[in-house]
Structure formats: structure tokens, C-alpha cells
Amino acid sequence: MNMQIRRRPQAGFTLVELMVSMAIGLLIVLALITLLINVNRNNSEMTKTNRQIENGRFAIQLLQNDLIHAGFWGPLRPATPSAMPAPCPISWNDANILGIPVFGFNSSTITANCPAFTGVQVNSDVLVVRHADTCEVGSTVCDGGTDTGPHIQVSNCSTTPSEEAYVIDSASFPLRDKDCTAIAARRKLISNIYYVSDNRLMRVELKNGTYQTQPMVEGIEAFRVEYGIDNNGDGSADEFKTTSLMAGTAVVPCADVGTACNFAANTVAVKIHVLARNLETSPGYTTNKSYQLGATTAIPDPGDGVKRHVYSTTVRLVNPSSRRERP
């Protein structure tokens, strides 16, 4: 018996079908790769922007926290100043240091007054802030008196007229407390100077009697300050002066309206402006805008593909302004 073998027809992809399916697969892979690249690019830009925002806000907060304490000298009410204090004084026995706790310079003049500065950027003002430490030496939250630099001691003894109202020294603190027997407490003298160098906010800090420069915040390209002047003695700012305007006037006498010393002696508020920048370029980013730092300074974008943003705030100098408030 002859058996006939029946063959089933073979099935599969034709060459055309195979090429079409491969093309579709490549398109899908290409779309996924493009999506992945865009996601990575967006994440990278978001990281740059977040870092810039963090740096800008931290710079503002750092300056604000120091300015709030400016002019705090414990129970002492400082006398009216007669001259501008030096930014980096050799001797601290100068009443003008207490009477003018906040003042500034522009980038072209500070280096001649204070050798601790190096590489101050053109768009950087220089801000000097001084006050006593908020804690007394010997308290549990204080430095314990380990700093060997100047401290301020205020006399609380009212029955001994021959005793000085205060002393600023590094070793001798003879003034007495309310009972006129115990030695009065002392506080470390804080002196900080801020400026911008190499796209970083820098601080020159008085530590152990010497000036030490340290970088504080990276990605800060420009720094401008405006000073709120109280013209009628009520503790409120009536007008704001830029550092350049104050530097362009006669320095003394302090009693004369319109001099730099008079402006500084009547400063009760400060506007601070910082221009923060990304640390890296953003491919394809272009802009023709300018960055406004205060009333007069507008910095055009250099077109280098780096994103920038201005951060500003106004700080009331609580201690100088509150002494002027009227009931």
C-alpha cells in the first residue's frame, strides 16, 4: 500500500516584512533614546537651576542674618560718630566703630584701605558689618572666651562716675556690673566684610585678632548694596543711596548733611542685591536681557550660555533704627 506524505506549507516572514519590522523597531528605540536624552537634559538643567536658587537664597540669608545684629553693643547706646571708621582698623579704641556699624566701599577703593582683600570683582560692592556677639563670654552657648581678639565690655555701675562707659580690648576688662563689685560681662566683637571674588561671595572675618578670608557661597557674580538713610530721626528710611553715590561725596564732617559719614551715621536699613549664576553652561541658551541690581546698576547678559538670576531683599537695621523710634 503506497502511503502519500502530505507536506504542510512553510510559514515565516518575507524579507520585506522583516525589513519593515526592523525599521519600526529602530524608530521605537530612537524615540526611547531621544526621550532618555531629553529627560537627562531636563534633569541636568533642573539640578543647575536648583543649585543656583540655593546659592542665591543662601547668600541673601547669610547677609541678612548678620545685618539684623548690626549695631548691637549690649546695653550700650553709642555716641554720635565724628568720622568714618576704618574697614580694617589696627586699634579698636574708636567710638566711631560703634556709631557706624554698617558702611561700604566700591570695588576700586577697598583694597587700599584693607590689605586682606584680593581680587574684588568689578561688579562687587564691599559691605562692612559690625556688632557684639549675642552671647556673653562664659555662657553655655558662647565661645567661652577662647577667641583672643577684641571684646567689648560695658559698665553697668552707675555710682562710679570715673569708670569708663565701655572698653574694647583683648586682655584688660576692668569694668564692673550693677553692684559695682563684680566684673561686668564681655562679648566678642564681630567684624565681617563681604565682597565678591572669582564668582564667589567672600567674607573677611576678624578671628583671634587677625583678618581671615574665607569663601562663603559659590556662583555669586555680582553684589550691590543700597543704604536706607533716615533724614528726620524717626527710625525709618526716607531714601536709599547706592555705595557709589556715598563714595562720591565728601567723607566728613559727619554732622554735615550730604557727606558720606552723615549718610553712614543715619543708615537704618540696607537693600542687598546679588546676581547668582549657574556653575555650568546650558547648551543652546541665549538671552538679551539685563540684570537690575538696585536703582542704577544694570548688568547686560554676556551671552556665554550661563543662566543667571537676581536675588534681593531689604533688611531693617534693628538696633540703629529702634534707638531712633519715637513714642
Query: According to the model, what pLDDT value does residue 144 have?
Result: 62
Q: Which of 251, 141, 152, 266 is nearest to 206 (CA)?
A: 152
CB atoms under 10 Å from CB of 117, counted, come to 22
Q: Give the span between the Cα atoms of 84 and 177, in whole angstroms.
A: 31
Query: What is the spatial distance between Cα 135 and Cα 151, in angstroms, rounded to a whole number?
Result: 12
Grid cell locating 116: 586682606
Give, in order, the Cα–Cα distances in Å from 17 to each of 22, 29, 71, 264, 309: 9, 18, 83, 84, 55
pTM score above 0.95: no
Cell 581680587, located at residue? 119
At 17 the pLDDT is 78
- C-alpha cell, 182: 563684680
What span, in angstroms and rounded, lies between the C-alpha atoms of 199 and 304?
A: 15
> Can you tell me the distance from the alpha carbon of 16 to that of 22, in angstroms, rounded to the nearest whole number?
10
The DSSP call for residue 233 is: S
**Cα 121 from Cα 142, distance rounded (Å):** 35
Q: Each residue's pLDDT tens digit in the chain (327 positions)? A: 555 656 666 666 777 878 888 899 899 989 888 888 888 878 888 888 999 999 999 999 999 999 999 999 999 999 999 988 888 888 888 899 999 999 998 876 665 557 667 788 887 899 999 999 999 998 877 766 788 999 999 999 987 677 899 999 999 999 999 999 999 999 999 999 999 999 999 999 999 988 889 999 999 999 999 999 999 999 999 999 998 777 766 777 888 888 889 999 999 999 999 999 999 998 888 999 999 998 877 899 999 999 999 999 999 999 999 999 877
314 phi, psi to nearest 5 deg:
-115, 130
